[in-house]
Amino acid sequence: MARFEVPDGWQVQAYRFALDLTPAQVSAMESHCGGARFAFNHMLSHVKSVMDQRSAERSYGLDGDELTPPVGWSLASLRKVWNGRKDAVAPWWAENSKEAYNSGLDALARGLDAWSKSRSGHRGGAAVGFPRFKTRARAGKSVRFTTGAIRVEADRHHVTLPRLGRIRTHESTRKLARRVEIDTARILSATVRFAGGRWLCSFQVLAQRAIGARPAHIAGSAYPVVGVDVGVKDLLVVAAPDGTEVARVPAPRPLRVAQDRLRALQRRAARQHGPYDPVTDTRRQPSKRWQRTQARIGRVHAHVAAVRRDALAKATTALAQQHQVITVETLFAAGMRSKGGARKRGLNRALGDAALAEIRRMLGYKTVWYGSELVAAPRFYPSSKTCSACGGRKPNLTLAERTYVCEHCGLAIDRDLGAAINLARLGDTRTGETGTGTGSGPAAHQQGGKGRGANQKTRPAHAGTAGGCEASTRHNTTSGVGQTGTASPQGEAT
């Protein structure tokens, strides 16, 4: 079957709404999620048993056609086996939509495929383990609908899902309903999941957009080319190639704000009757109070995520709407938090609270929506360690040094501002049709000719320790003393 291709002028995007379920609808939703979990676990058990049987038969000297026939790991193969076994193992399967079981089988097929590719070296990143069984206590509740009655109702306050019927939403669905009515959007699927104490429904939509057309307000922007430096203190520092600081957005730090509340709730939960007894090493029946406290902890985390997502969405939308070219760093956010242990716990928490990787991801699709262009700097591009005036390098730059003092020309500038200026010049030289650049001085105009530019002074291939251990710098490290060594795949932390 050929893969679905998005037509020209259309894009796939999502609309999410919080659901207001009745008790009967909550029970039905729980049943669908339980059905998906059951199908996943049953077919995983079947796959494991066949693999173990074949392994045992090989130890007996059998081979080829003498072995037990294998089970295909594709979604179609798993679904075929499930359909032949469901009447015997799950006689109640007709109570739920077939999409519930398809969701569990699809998750298993993806997990097996990821494990197989990771094991054979065809998948990059961290090693992927073999799929594990899902428990009711730990597995997330989620189900995806791809066929059947999936729509938003005309009253703007209800959605319809297969077997679940008409469901009321907390907020209005007019943004999606209007586009569906005028045939500029088509719903592809709907995913319902439980998160932060709420049931959420996300519609995957094929929407028509005027992609590639640059709006007039972007074409007439005072700063068409900007560089964006991200960090944990200031979420975004935006600068132009001529050295002008365009904007500085402070980081909201929602997790830090909620830390006291979370600490109190988690200590309360530890004193209550939890699901595990460390003395007898047995599982206990959770108390009602423990369950209520856990629900409150989940709501606090959901609020933290909502505040973080709102700040990132507003900041990235403003960038995509107001500038023609936006240059950002390529950060390996997961690797930045993988080293340091207990001595780096505070920085790791701050890096996770800032969600630095989300900024580039959001800009990736918003620049397409609003007609601007996104330029990603190489991972080892030394934006923070390069002087924005002379282009010199300062390899031993620690996180404690928030002011960059150049050892060659004596320039003293805010570390994040200097990095944003270097990124802006990198984007200016890489996107100009005639090689336009800014020169190496901060006062140079963006149309002032080719100039040297920061990227001409230090190329990514010679970045050295531009990334590496910056993310692991001890907090008590004295100014001017850094760690040296070979470059690591972490990128810079600012």
Give catalytic residues, as residue numbers. 229, 329, 416
Edge-to-edge strand order for the sheet containing 151-152?
Answer: 142-145, 185-195, 198-208, 10-20, 165-169, 158-161, 151-152
- With a CB cutoff of 8 Å and minimum separation 6, the contacts of 39 are 82, 90, 100, 101, 102, 103, 104, 105, 108
Q: Which H or E run includes 189?
A: strand 185-195
Residue of 243, 248, 242, 245 whose CA lies nearest to 230: 248
Note the Cα 494 to chain centre separation in Å. Answer: 20
Residue reference for tokens 């189900």 = 143
**∠ CA(386), CA(389), CA(392), 5° rounding?**
40
- How does strand 158-161 pair with strand 165-169? antiparallel
Spell out a b/e string for 70-92, using b for 16 or more CB atoms within 10 Å of the CB, else e.
Answer: ebebebeebbebbeeebeeebee
- How does strand 225-230 pair with strand 325-328? parallel
Q: Which two tokens stand for residue 270?
A: 């530890």
Note the Cα 262 to chain centre separation in Å. Answer: 23
